[in-house]
């Protein structure tokens, strides 16, 4: 949707609605600017039939349930007093990470037109649906990879029903698979999709760096104690960090411990050092290696990488777009091997993206190694995989989970309206047709009756002429 100046009709406010936790009675006031903006762009006569949804994500999920309920209750009670949108208690909820992933998956595939099954030249997949004997062949969808600062998420379609090695794995898979119908009628199974969605907390770029620093701190402490050394205890004897650019000096502080580090820019050594972090803790839920992952047909699939996948490839390395592992590794190694002085000079000369800042320069070496490990060791993407694209915009627009959410929530509404309109049109057409039909039928009947009378009179006349006359003489 665009305004009269052809600008996108978009409004964002920060921070999130979870800030109302301190005063839930102010939740409606928080949303008021957004709702006024929406009300100004939706025709006033359509407000009462325009559904409004308030869907809350990670910030609200972190709050206690009583605070979540208090915020939502305030919205349900007060929003209808100020706005005429179609809004009820069922339209306000805190969604799960799984729902958020599904909505993001719907959004990107909708923008790319992957729900249009009429394109005969597009790549296709064979999908097994429930108890149906025959499989369905339809257009191939894309999977998504999204790495933020704290978490990592993946979502992709699972065409086959598959088999499970154990009842425990089957139970785990059920919690990670979402099956839903995007068709306009529940009876039509052509748009039933089965999607694997998983969110890995602590595997985002910034949290991974924190975990790495704790690992280095602990290992250095043990190493010093066993060998009676003082590595990292002073600027003169720093820990040589392979994940920082050559010559960059930094400190890592945890509680009362401080570790002095200096970058040595060895990308391969960094990648090896990060591999244990994929395992997380002993819990499989916190492990990228041990977690259940639905099988991916890498020979017939396509993925889009967002957020850190894009920043890590584009902001400094300028490799955003179609991903090539060979080109990425080469560029990352070259970057890491450069001295910090050279990198800052390049930055000041404007050789990097406008979105790059000093934080990006400092941790680019680490994050590129982490992204590599996540992609190829955690999710097992082949090094020669040709169908991964890193992106921030798709068709020059930002694709967010909110687009998928509104598509999913309102998927049955258009058909219902169309059916009602079709019913009215059909009824009206039938009335018109009946009137016209009866009108002509009436005249046709009169014509037939008139012709019948004329024919009858003509026949009587002929009979009268042929009859012999009898004369009587007296």
The CATH number assigned to the domain holding 339 equals 3.30.420.150
pLDDT of residue 261: 93
- 76 and 160 both lie in a single domain: no
- 44 and 185 both lie in a single domain: no
pLDDT band at 424 (very low <50, low <70, confident <90, very high): very low
pLDDT of residue 64: 93
Beta strands in 365-458 (DSSP E): 388-390
- 321 and 395 both lie in a single domain: yes
Is 150 labelled as part of a ligand binding site? yes
Higher-scoring residue by pLDDT: 333, 427: 333
Rounded to an integer, what distance in angstroms lies between the CA atom of residue 308 and that of residue 110?
Answer: 22
pLDDT greater than 90 at residue 420: no
What's the mean pLDDT in 437-445?
65
- 22 and 107 both lie in a single domain: no
What's the mean pLDDT in 154-161?
90
Residue 319 lies in a domain: yes
- 57 and 125 both lie in a single domain: no
Higher-scoring residue by pLDDT: 14, 344: 344
Alpha-helical (H) ranges within 195-337 are 205-227, 267-274, 308-314, 325-337
Strands 151-157 and 143-147: antiparallel
pLDDT of residue 290: 83
pLDDT of residue 388: 97
- 292 and 380 both lie in a single domain: yes
Residue 257 lies in a domain: no
Q: Which residues pair with 9 in a beta bridge?
A: none
Listed residues 356, 390, 409: the one ending a domain: 409
Q: Considering the chain, what percentage of its residues have pLDDT values greater than 90?
A: 53
pLDDT greater than 80 at residue 61: yes
Alpha-helical (H) ranges within 300-357 are 308-314, 325-337, 340-348
Is 153 labelled as part of a ligand binding site? yes
- Return the residue matching tokens 């949804």: 53
- 85 and 105 both lie in a single domain: no
Q: Which of 209-213, 344-348, 354-358, 366-370 has the highest mean pLDDT?
A: 366-370
- 47 and 67 both lie in a single domain: yes
Residue 418 lies in a domain: no
pLDDT of residue 468: 55
Find the CATH number of the domain harbouring 78: 3.30.420.40
- Indicate the range of 41-50, 373-382, 431-440, 456-465 predicted with least confidence: 431-440
- 343 and 357 both lie in a single domain: yes
* Among the listed residues 108, 85, 6, 86, the one whose alpha carbon sits nearest the alpha carbon of residue 38: 85
CB 100 within 8 A of CB 57: yes
pLDDT greater than 70 at residue 71: yes
pLDDT of residue 433: 40
Residue 3 lies in a domain: no
pLDDT of residue 467: 57
Q: Is the peptide bond before 98 cis (omega within 30 degrees of 0)?
A: no
Over the range 123-143, which residues count as b (16 or more CB within 10 Å of their CB) and which as e?
A: eebebbbeeeeeebebbbbbb
- 45 and 161 both lie in a single domain: no
Rounded to an integer, what distance in angstroms lies between the CA atom of residue 85 and that of residue 412?
Answer: 18
Residue 414 lies in a domain: no
Is 202 labelled as part of a ligand binding site? no
Strands 136-139 and 124-127: antiparallel
pLDDT greater than 70 at residue 426: no
- Return the residue matching tokens 């002085």: 341
- Indicate the range of 47-51, 104-108, 227-231, 382-386 predicted with least confidence: 227-231
- CB within 8 Å of 313: residues ≥ 6 apart: 305, 319, 320, 323, 328, 371, 390
Q: What is the mean pLDDT of the chain?
A: 86
Strands 257-263 and 136-139: unpaired
Listed residues 391, 409, 427: the one ending a domain: 409
Domain count, the chain: 2
- 289 and 396 both lie in a single domain: yes
Rounded to an integer, what distance in angstroms lies between the CA atom of residue 190 and that of residue 24?
Answer: 43
pLDDT of residue 263: 94
pLDDT of residue 229: 79
pLDDT tens track for 171-207: 888 889 998 888 877 777 788 899 999 998 889 999 9
Rounded to an integer, what distance in angstroms lies between the CA atom of residue 48 and that of residue 357?
Answer: 46
pLDDT greater than 80 at residue 67: yes
Count H helices and E strands in the chain, helices first: 13, 14
- Indicate the range of 206-220, 278-292, 345-359, 378-392 predicted with least confidence: 278-292
Rounded to an integer, what distance in angstroms lies between the CA atom of residue 254 and that of residue 257?
Answer: 5
Residues present in the chain in total: 474
Residue 237 lies in a domain: no
pLDDT greater than 60 at residue 149: yes
Query: Strand, helix or coil at 124?
Result: strand
* DSSP sequence for 146-172: EE-SSEEEEEEE--S----SSHHHHHH
The residues carrying an active-site annotation are: 100
> CA distances (Å), 70 to each of 59, 64, 89, 100, in order?
15, 10, 12, 22
Backbone φ and ψ for 126, nearest 5 degrees, come out as: -100, 125
Residue 295 lies in domain = 98-206+275-409
Residue 245 lies in a domain: no
Query: Strand, helix or coil at 425?
Result: helix
- 82 and 196 both lie in a single domain: no
pLDDT tens track for 100-124: 999 999 999 999 999 988 877 788 8
Residue 168 lies in a domain: yes
Listed residues 360, 381, 409: the one ending a domain: 409
Higher-scoring residue by pLDDT: 314, 224: 314
pLDDT of residue 368: 97
pLDDT of residue 436: 44
- Indicate the range of 2-16, 246-260, 276-290 predicted with least confidence: 276-290
């Amino acid at each position: 949707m665009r305004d009269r100046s052809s600008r996108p009709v978009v409004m964002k406010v920060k921070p999130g609605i979870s800030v109302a936790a301190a005063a839930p009675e102010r939740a409606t006031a928080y949303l008021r600017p957004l709702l006024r903006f929406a009300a100004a762009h939706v025709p006033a006569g359509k407000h009462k039939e325009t559904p409004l949804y308030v869907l809350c994500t990670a910030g609200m999920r972190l709050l206690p349930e009583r605070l979540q309920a208090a915020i939502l209750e305030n919205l349900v009670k007060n929003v209808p007093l100020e706005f005429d949108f179609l809004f009820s208690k069922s339209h306000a909820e805190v969604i799960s990470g799984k729902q958020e992933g599904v909505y993001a998956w719907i959004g990107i595939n909708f923008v790319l037109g992957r729900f249009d099954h009429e394109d005969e030249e597009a790549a296709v997949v064979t999908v097994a649906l429930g108890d149906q004997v025959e499989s369905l062949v339809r257009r191939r969808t894309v999977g998504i990879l999204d790495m933020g600062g704290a978490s990592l998420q993946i979502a992709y379609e699972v065409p086959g029903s598959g088999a499970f090695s154990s009842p425990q794995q089957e139970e785990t898979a059920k919690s990670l698979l979402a099956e839903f119908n995007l068709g306009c009628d529940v009876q039509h199974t052509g748009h039933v999709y089965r999607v694997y969605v998983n969110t890995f907390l602590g595997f985002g770029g910034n949290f991974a760096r924190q975990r790495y620093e704790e690992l280095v701190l602990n290992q250095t402490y043990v190493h010093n104690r066993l060998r009676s050394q003082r590595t990292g205890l002073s600027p003169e004897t720093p820990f040589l960090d392979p994940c920082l650019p050559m010559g960059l000096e930094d400190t890592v502080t945890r509680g009362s411990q401080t570790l002095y580090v200096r970058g040595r820019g060895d990308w391969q050594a960094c990648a090896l050092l990060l591999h244990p972090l994929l395992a997380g803790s002993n819990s499989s839920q916190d492990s990228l290696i041990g977690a259940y992952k639905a099988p991916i047909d890498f020979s017939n699939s396509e993925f889009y990488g967002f957020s850190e996948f894009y920043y890590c490839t584009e902001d400094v390395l300028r490799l955003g777009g179609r991903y090539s592992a060979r080109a990425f590794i080469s560029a990352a190694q070259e970057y890491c091997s450069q001295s910090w002085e050279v990198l800052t000079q390049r930055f000041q000369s404007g050789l990097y993206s406008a979105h790059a800042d000093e934080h990006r320069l400092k941790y680019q070496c680490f994050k590129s190694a982490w992204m590599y490990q996540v992609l190829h060791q955690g999710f097992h993407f082949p090094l020669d995989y040709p169908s991964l694209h890193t992106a921030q915009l798709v068709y020059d627009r930002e694709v967010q989970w909110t687009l998928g959410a509104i598509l999913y929530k309102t998927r049955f509404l258009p058909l219902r309206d169309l059916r009602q309109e079709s019913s009215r049109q059909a009824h009206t057409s039938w009335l018109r047709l009946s009137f016209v039909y009866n009108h002509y039928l009436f005249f046709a009947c009169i014509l037939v009756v008139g012709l019948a009378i004329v024919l009858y009179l003509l026949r009587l006349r002929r009979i009268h002429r042929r009859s012999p006359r009898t004369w009587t003489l007296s």
